[in-house]
Chain A
Amino acid sequence: KQEVTQIPAALSVPEGENLVLNCSFTDSAIYNLQWFRQDPGKGLTSLLLIQSSQREQTSGRLNASLDKSSGRSTLYIAASQPGDSATYLCAVWGSGNTGKLIFGQGTTLQVKP
């Protein structure tokens, strides 16, 4: 059974710092991986989707990497801003399934001005 773990559960950094959020999964036979952002009381906003054949994706100050063989993904946020404060969730698709996502518990990030 696929399990997704995110470390750390919470993170507090001063504004301007570069930071890395970690995601690990137990079954390396994933199809794709997606990173989301969730603001309090809101739904999920898709940040980056990495296909299984890719090793990384970039969008603005965000860079996500994928290493299937080791069962890991990282989300790198450059020059963090207070507006980046949110919960970040990673999710994987298992191969051959109907498209359901399996989520980690999330990392709650606070960027202090």
Chain B
Amino acid sequence: GAGVSQSPRYKVAKRGQDVALRCDPISGHVSLFWYQQALGQGPEFLTYFQNEAQLDKSGLPSDRFFAERPEGSVSTLKIQRTQQEDSAVYLCASSKREGTADTQYFGPGTRLTVL
């Protein structure tokens, strides 16, 4: 179907609040990735799902970050007790196959601002 979609597009949170960011991947895509992009930097990997299985979460910066993809399609990235350093654009990407080196298609991102 259509491309990767993310919601909300913009989120402002007060420090200490919890936030939930949603990603709808391209229908049928097996792999789903979350990246964090700070201002003026390239995206940095957070976590990877193959269907519903979270196979790599090595990039999550702290235990305040949690991601899930319970039915192997939509994914949610949750950040608990937000801090100012969490302010960034959170990008979701999906690819058709599992594992390495398949073209990744990115969503427009969610810009999170923590005050």
Binding site for B on A (CB under 8 A): 4, 31-32, 34, 36, 41-46, 49, 51-52, 89, 91, 93, 95-106
Contacts and interface: CB of A to CB of B under 8 A. Distances in A.
B42 interface: yes
A95 B105 CA distance: 20
B110 to A, nearest CB: 10
A32 B103 CA distance: 10
Given A102-B45, A103-B42, A43 B91 contact: yes
Contact of A93 (B41, B101, B107): B101
Contacts of A34: 103-104
Contacts of A102: 45
Nearest to A51: B101
Interface magnitude class on chain B: 20 to 34
Q: Is the interface of A mostly helix, strand, loop or mixed?
A: strand
B25 interface: no
A43 B9 CA distance: 11
Contacts of B31: 99
B104 A46 contact: yes
Contact of A99 (B44, B102, B105, B109): B102
